[in-house]
Amino acid sequence: MSWRGLLVTLIFLAYSFSLTTLFLDAFLTGEMPERVWWGLDIGYMAFMPIFGFLLDPASFRYRREDTYSRKLAEWHTMPIGVGQIIAGRLTVFLLVLVFNCLLYFGLQYAVLEELRDQIGLAGFFINLLCWFGYGVVTGVMTIYLELGFSGRDYFNYFCIFFVFGILLTALLLNVFGANAVSFFLESAAEGSWGTAAAMLAAAAAAVAGFGALLHRRINRRSFWS
């Protein structure tokens, strides 16, 4: 990880924090019309998966250079098993996600008085764990695409997942009168650790499930397509 990559990661974190915190403040104070709550959901749903990735400059050239296919081909010439490759990638992802979530939600909790009044300290951890669980589920899906497909296919599938998947989910929630941000905050305010536990259970299932799928996918894929 280069210093440029770390700088880009921190800049992205600052940008996402500034944008979503402004919307969240308007939401908490009642200044945001209910009909546009879906925009707040899109912000959280889109940013959370990315929080688990170090935005190294090479990641922006992935489609053209097929970075991970080349790395996998190189690692296959070494005494490194597929399971070790997957475990290492997931470990880095989880560590980065934990750090960025603590920083992001910690700063949000520190600057928004309305948020502190509504959920308290215990609620802060419930809300954090709920979104962390979501970030793990969507992030692991992204890693499956990252390691399991060529750079071109990964880029195409990733765009479809983000542009259509997240947008469609947020809009459908809005149509049915639901909102993910509101739901997690209400669970946090009520001290519902069960919601956080359910999200963490989904995260664990995603790691196990996509980890197994990825193991088979890597064993079968070509690194030069």
Domain locations along the chain: 3-220
| Nearest CA-CA partner of 43 in 121, 134, 141 | 134
pTM, entire model: 0.90
Q: Which two tokens stand for residue 14?
A: 């600052």
Q: Which of 210, 66, 64, 188 is nearest to 132 (CA)?
A: 188
CA distance 149 to 163: 19
pLDDT, tens digit, 9 for 90 and up, residues 168-211 = 888 888 888 889 999 999 999 999 999 999 999 999 999 999 99
Per-residue pLDDT of the chain (225 residues; tens, 9 = 90+): 566 777 888 888 999 999 999 999 999 998 988 778 888 999 999 999 899 988 776 666 666 766 777 777 777 677 778 888 899 999 999 999 999 999 999 999 999 999 999 999 999 999 999 999 999 999 999 999 888 888 788 888 888 877 788 888 888 888 888 899 999 999 999 999 999 999 999 999 999 999 999 999 888 876 654
How many angstroms separate the CA atoms of 131 and 134, rounded? Answer: 5
